Structure 1
Amino acid sequence: MAQRVIKEIIDQQKIGPGYFKLVIKVPEIVAQAKIGQFVHIKWVAEDSGADPLLRRPISLNRINPAEGTMTLVYRVVGRGTKVLSKLTAGDKLDIMGPLGTGFSISEDTNRVLVIGGGVGIAPLYPLVNELVKQNKEVILLLGAESAEEVIDLSSFEEFDLELKVATMDGSLGREGFVTDYLAELEQEIDYIYTCGPMPMMKVIRDWAIDSNVAGQASLEERMGCGTGACLSCVCQVKIDGKDGWTYKKACTAGPVFPLREVIFDE
């Protein structure tokens, strides 16, 4: 069950151009959190007042039940995240969570493909960590604009997995789109997990359909309330087993959806 608490930030560091990593101790939420879920946060600072008014949804990058801490990674894209980036240890956050439907891992899958792009790499770290713990054979593809924006690269390199990177400027790995690696996969894939820009995930969705591979996609949607009341995060998904589509709320039915059901074309 989601809770609302106010807690002090333990640490916040800039980890790349416009990217920040924030650590906060919140055992009440961490004890219930699952990989792929998110929290909805608002800063409690005298100089910010009630502006911006709405909370910001941020996926869980680290979940540490032993210490009761969680780590959030985000990119500054507007006024709200800019305010958030100015906070330091000791400043307080108003936190709601854990929220949403996270990733699930099937015992029937062995060879797993994980593809992340940009800030969408952040929620994939706890997923990859769990896949490795379960002795899955993991192929990890990471894409970003530049080497500085490949989140958690050093941590991913510690895992026993196949790792390939693509950057648009060619500063690390292959120059170009991370999805270019799909055409070069030599082994059959049992399952796919992905999070990142919509155009990237559309390519992955189409490849998954052509290859008859199931998977899950974590969507990055704007959210007003985080509880399904405001309808600001609705997305189009196919109706299971039927023609046509329907709207579902990313904050409650997602943010993780079956990959082949998500409609990225509209």
Structure 2
Amino acid sequence: MKKVENCKLISKTEIIDGIFDFVIESEDISKEAQCGQFLHINCGDSTFLRRPISICDAENGKVRFIFEVKGKGTEELAKKEVGDYIDVMGPLGHGFEIKDSVKNAVIIGGGIGVFPLYKLAKNINADVFLGFRSKDRVVMEDEFNDVSNMVIVGTDDGSYGYNGYIASAMDQYLDSHKCDMIYSCGPMPMLKAVKKIAESRGIKCQVSLEQRMGCGIGACLVCSCETNKEGTDRYAKVCTNGPVFYSEEVTLND
């Protein structure tokens, strides 16, 4: 079992309304964290279950994670101040598979799904697509630009960048560019669209799934997702078998 440690919060920023950027100290997590893994965080005394939050970046004894306040747990977590200690378990899960044979990679993220993709973008050469609801929800554009070959940002309402769903922007790009791997994280409708595009073009695709979790270590089965296998292997645990899967392995359900 991954160990639990109390990590000191050394940086806190509300980057846009309701979305907080935390940096904690942890030599062990910083060394062990792989792209696409997550932390299981005790948000405070008023919540019983830990909350899974993806690792945005990890290096030099520092671990960064960004989260949106969605309920009681993350609301309490957002009240933490610099100097406080946070009860963290991790790193957990199966992250993105990085292959030396991949020469033309695409990263595509939507909404809060862009955060788990940043460490990946720092570790591979890729063209990046970032989708958001509107201009006022666009985050990390400059940071991705600093570490990527190219970044295209789109908004659903057309208020900034590409006008429309970001999967459509990627599809148009693929008409004239080579790609041998797609890495994706975001809302389920986006993942479904990305999977369909990848399959139609014969491109391998990895998807990071967001799922409600209980234990975070594969014991409680709360986070099970349906796979394309039969029998006892039909369901996989997002917390241990995932959160990253190859798109052809899983059934993407709303």
Same fold (TM over 0.5): yes
CA shift for structure 1 position 72: 0.4
Query: How large is the RMSD of aligned CA atoms in angstroms?
Result: 1.8
More helix by share: 2
Q: Aligned with 1:31: secondary structure?
A: helix
CA shift for structure 1 position 160: 4.5
CA shift for structure 1 position 245: 7.3
1:58 maps to 53
Residue 250 (structure 2) pairs with residue 255 (structure 1): no
Query: What is the aligned-residue identity percentage?
Result: 38
1:135 maps to none
Amino acid at match of 2:193: V
The one of 205, 212, 218 equivalent to 1:228 is: 218
Counterpart mapping for 1:1-266 below 5 A: 2-44=2-44, 49=45, 51-64=46-59, 66=60, 68-132=61-125, 138-185=126-173, 186-239=176-229, 246-265=234-253
Aligned-partner Cα distance in 2 for 1:264–1:43: 29
Aligned-partner Cα distance in 1 for 2:78–2:123: 29
Contact 1:237/1:246 (8 A) holds in 2: yes
CA shift for structure 1 position 243: 10
Aligned-partner Cα distance in 2 for 1:155–1:253: 29
Aligned-partner Cα distance in 1 for 2:132–2:40: 25
Contact 1:61/1:126 (8 A) holds in 2: yes
Q: Aligned with 1:140: secondary structure?
A: strand
TM-score normalised by the chain length of structure 1: 0.90
The total of aligned residue pairs comes to: 252
Contact 1:2/1:29 (8 A) holds in 2: no
- Deviant stretches of 4+, over 3 Å: 242-245
Aligned-partner Cα distance in 2 for 1:22–1:265: 31
Structure 1, unpaired ranges of 5+? 133-137
Aligned-partner Cα distance in 1 for 2:232–2:239: 22
Structure 2, unpaired ranges of 5+? none
> CA distance change for structure 1 residues 184 and 245 in 2, over 3 Å: closer, same or farther?
farther
Aligned-partner Cα distance in 1 for 2:98–2:81: 36
**Deviates further, 175-184 or 255-264:** 175-184
Aligned-partner Cα distance in 2 for 1:183–1:57: 31
Amino acid at match of 1:41: I
Amino acid at match of 2:149: L
